[in-house]
Amino acid sequence: MDEYWLEIASPIGRLLLFGTNGSVTRVDLPANGDRPPGVPRPNAVLRRAEQQIAEYFAGRRRDFDLPIAPVGTDFQIRVWNALQTIPYGHTRSYSELAESVCNPQAARAVGSACAHNPLPIVIPCHRVVGADGRLTGFGGGLPVKKWLLEHESEHA
């Protein structure tokens, strides 16, 4: 299976999008990963992701309608699915998310699943905060998490 990639500009820095012929598989935030060697290999799926991410940053898109294929454990997939139910401009705590995946004692495991989310922004792990509302861990760094939450609050 061929892997395609595309580098795009965003208000939070350069993003790398990865995918196959049929789905988006990964979004690397500026703090993560290196640019692949060679020239970008975009395809129609990644161009669609580029457009939707641009609409998100312009405040015109709240939900993504992309074919995605994140790879993870059954528990991670359940958490990533639950993340997609958090409304734009809202947050949930790790413990609330753990309850939503029917495992109220799994707040730390939920945090780990969020940390391993291969599709940040598209699967909005930035909407998860500490029980007291405090911003905690994010692969792109807390300033980026803060920016994303403020952006959504402004456009909600």
Q: pLDDT tens for residues 6-57?
A: 999 999 999 999 999 999 999 999 866 677 877 788 999 999 999 999 999 9
* Max CA pair span of the chain: 46
Residue type, 43: N
CA dihedral (144, 145, 147, 149) in degrees, to 10, reads: 160
Span 139-144, average pLDDT? 91
Measured between alpha carbons, how far is 145 from 150 in angstroms, rounded to an integer? Answer: 9
Measured between alpha carbons, how far is 62 from 56 in angstroms, rounded to an integer? Answer: 6
- Comparing 33-42, 47-56, 73-82, 138-147, the range with the smallest average pLDDT is 33-42
Token code pair at residue 126: 């930035």
pLDDT at 119: 98
Question: Which CATH architecture fits 74-155?
Answer: Orthogonal Bundle (1.10)
Instruction: Give the chain's count of helices (H) and strands (E).
Output: 5, 5
Q: Known catalytic residues?
A: 125
Cβ 49 vs Cβ 19: under 8 Å: yes
Residue type, 120: P
Report whether pLDDT(144) > 80: yes
> What is the model's pTM?
0.93
Delimit the domains of the chain by residue range: 4-57, 74-155
Spell out the CATH class of 4-57.
alpha beta
